[in-house]
A = this chain, B = another copy of it.
Amino acid sequence: MTQRREKTAITPTRQEDYPEWYQQVIKAADMAENSPVRGCMVIKPWGFGIWENIKSTLDQMIKETGHENVYFPLFIPLSFLEKEAAHVEGFAKECAVVTHHRLEEKDGKLIPTGELEEPLIVRPTSETIIGDSFSRWVESYRDLPLLINQWANVVRWEMRPRIFLRTSEFLWQEGHTVHATKQEAKEETLKMLEVYRVLAEEVLAIPVILGEKSAGERFPGAESTYTLEMMMQDRKALQGGTSHYLGQNFARAQGIQFSGKEGELEYAYTTSWGVTTRLIGGMIMCHGDDDGLRIPPRVAPKQIVIIPVIPKPELEEEVLAFAEKVKQQIISQMFYGKPISVHIDKRDRRGGEKNWEWVKKGVPVRIEIGPRDIESDSVMLARRDRGHKEKEKVSLETLGAIIPNLLNEIQKNYFEQAKAFREMHIQRGVETLEALREFFTPKNPDKPEIHGGFVLAKWSEDPESEKILDEMKLTIRCLPLSQSGTKGKCILTGKDAVKDVIIAKSY
């Protein structure tokens, strides 16, 4: 006898086809869609609401660490990009180029005209245009540190786009700072990495491994790049954000100099750091289940949805009045310093239909209210972290008081579940290339995307050796900040090695 599979909302399931499951979750939750402009997405209200919450939380953290927001031009003159050789090499293949500034009709067709003397690049990142201002703003050590951030759209032409994860245009914040000393700049780089860790783990409930990128994976022009690596449910790695120590590279290329206390002219040290709308993709892939999205309460556009169930039209008024009473109970409670967001779904649709919709949208708590609940002065409460079926009767008297704790529990559960999943799929003690290959070989040939997970191994830091991984479509994700310090054999060269590295397939 085969076990009957319980019906779930998303087809296919994660097991059946993870990449397609991802697309279907986004569609079922009505978060975003592909636009007619190749590689660019339309972020719909439910998806954008999540971004607004990520943004406002991170923005506060960025300000609390002393940074101020600014806005720099969308366009970068081609010559600016050329100033830092590694930088332009890194971005030249994915630049949207503006060459004309008007349209003219010719033979009944509109054609670009007004050719620009110098083409403009739509910013792929803003080090060069911001650095130009920095070179004028910074004169003396008294002007330092200079700590700024901007929220902006950027464009990196993408040949294989994937909604939220890889889009030609995406939204992000980019921090840019200038310092008088190497030490201070390095501290800043790590401080912002820690801010991102808090955002990822405590707000998005995604556990991260903090680490440094190997030379081959550095930001073009950086001296060192730090990263947050996240494990998705297909065990692949997602880079969740990066923080770059740029040394004096950009300062030299752009003339960011300051006079020190003794009057001597010195090049400054700069940093830059950013996270993007890609985090939404990470959140989907980390927490989603076969019923759709599961949004951590701290970023949910609506934390609680009340679904009035009205069996007869004449009961509508009474049920809606009770729903309003329930809403007031909850709204008076706070969660992370803000009133809890509650929505009463009054649309003229069946209760069951609405219920499934909010399951798929991943709202943390659903509350059903019908005539029988009014009689017993209680509600039926369903937690998204407990699947789609389980409901629990809660008396109205205690409801308000338990809600903040409930949201906290759900937030924590998502994090703990993701962390347990990751721990289960990090393999230690892989010491040879053969063992590595074995770990990443799919056990089921029908499901090539299901493989081992992360490998924690030793590496000799030989830059040439990284290329051995190309053929297996693996990369060194990072050298974790937290190192064991033990000695061992380099998994790529067999040489003596001390450094721990994470090796994985990645997005």
Minimal beta-carbon separation of A43 from chain B (angstroms): 4
Given contacts A100-B97, A102-B157, contact A70 B92 (CB under 8 A): no
Within 8 A of B (CB), among A80-120: 80-82, 88, 92-105, 110, 112, 114, 119-120
Determine whether the beta carbon of A73 is less than 8 Å from that of B110: no
Instruction: List B contacts of A114 (CB < 8 A).
Output: 157
CB contacts (< 8 Å) of A44 on chain B: these are 70
CB distance from A211 to the nearest CB of B (A): 31
Decide if A385 is an interface residue (CB 8 Å cutoff): no
Q: In the complex the two chains form, is B93's CB within 8 Å of A102's CB?
A: yes
A92 touches B104 (CB 8 A): yes
Question: Could you say which of A41, A80, A97 has the most chain B C-beta atoms within 10 Å of its C-beta?
Answer: A97
CA–CA, A504 and B35, complex, Å:
43
Q: Tell me if A68 is interfacial: C-beta within 8 Å of chain B.
A: yes
A37 near B103: Cβ-Cβ < 8 Å: no
**Which residues of B have CB within 8 Å of A155?**
74
Task: Check A37–B99 contact: CB distance below 8 A.
Answer: no
1/0 contact string of A64-75 vs chain B (CB within 8 Å): 000011111111
Shortest Cβ distance from A41 into B: residue: B73
Within 8 A of B (CB), among A156-184: 157, 169, 171
With A42-B70, A69-B48, A73-B42 already in contact, the answer to whether A99 and B101 are too (CB < 8 A) is: no
CA distance A95 to B98 in the complex (A): 10
Q: Are B77 and A37 in contact (CB under 8 A)?
A: yes
Q: How large is the interface on A (under 10, 10 to 19, 20 to 34, 35 or more residues)?
A: 35 or more
Whether A75 and B40, one on each chain, are in contact in the complex, defined by CB atoms closer than 8 angstroms, is: yes
Query: In the complex the two chains form, what is the Cα distance from A44 to B37 in whole Å?
Result: 32
Residue A129, interface by CB 8 Å: yes
0 or 1 for each of A345-364: is its CB under 8 Å from B? (1 = yes): 00000000000000000000
Is B98's CB under 8 angstroms from A69's CB?
no
Query: Could you tell me the distance in whole angstroms from the C-beta of A343 to the nearest C-beta in chain B?
Result: 12
**When chains A and B are docked, how far (Å) is the Cα of A132 from the Cα of B132?**
38
Interface pair A120/B37, CB less than 8 Å apart: yes
A313 at the A/B interface (Cβ < 8 Å)? Answer: no
Let me know if A36 and B69 touch, CB within 8 A: no
- In the complex, the chain B residue whose C-beta lies closest to that of A119 is B112
Residues on B with C-beta less than 8 A from A275 are: none
Q: Write out the residue numbers on chain B whose beta carbons fall within 8 Å of the beta carbon of A153.
A: 74, 152-153
Task: Specify which chain B residues have a CB less than 8 angstroms from the CB of A82 in the assembled complex.
Answer: 110
A200 at the interface (CB under 8 A from B): no
In contact, B93 and A97 (Cβ under 8 angstroms): no
Q: A122-B122, A169-B75 are in contact. Are A99 and B112 (CB under 8 A)?
A: yes
With a cutoff of 8 Å between Cβ atoms, the chain B residues found around residue A81 in the complex are 103, 110
User: Does A45 count as interface, using CB distance less than 8 angstroms?
Assistant: yes
The interface residues of chain B lying within 8 Å CB-to-CB of A133 are: 33, 35, 42
Q: Of B35, B148, B157, which one neighbours A101 at CB under 8 angstroms?
A: B157
Are B70 and A96 neighbours in the complex by a CB distance under 8 Å?
no
A95 touches B104 (CB 8 A): no
Q: Are B169 and A74 interface neighbours, CB within 8 A? A: yes
B40, B48, B110: the one contacting A78 at CB < 8 Å is B110
Contact of A73 among B68, B74, B169 (CB under 8 A): B169
Task: Point out the residues of chain B lying under 8 angstroms from A78, CB to CB.
Answer: 103, 110
B101 touches A94 (CB 8 A): yes
In the bound complex, residues from chain B placing their C-beta under 8 Å from that of A52 are 69
- Give the complex CA separation of A499 and B119 in angstroms: 49
- For the complex, what is the distance from the CA of A42 to the CA of B70, rounded to whole Å? 8
Q: Do B96 and A37 touch (CB < 8 A)?
A: no
Seen from chain A, the residues whose Cβ lies within 8 Å of a Cβ on chain B are 33, 35-37, 40-45, 48-49, 51-52, 68-78, 80-82, 88, 92-105, 110, 112, 114, 119-122, 129, 132-133, 148, 152-153, 155, 157, 169, 171
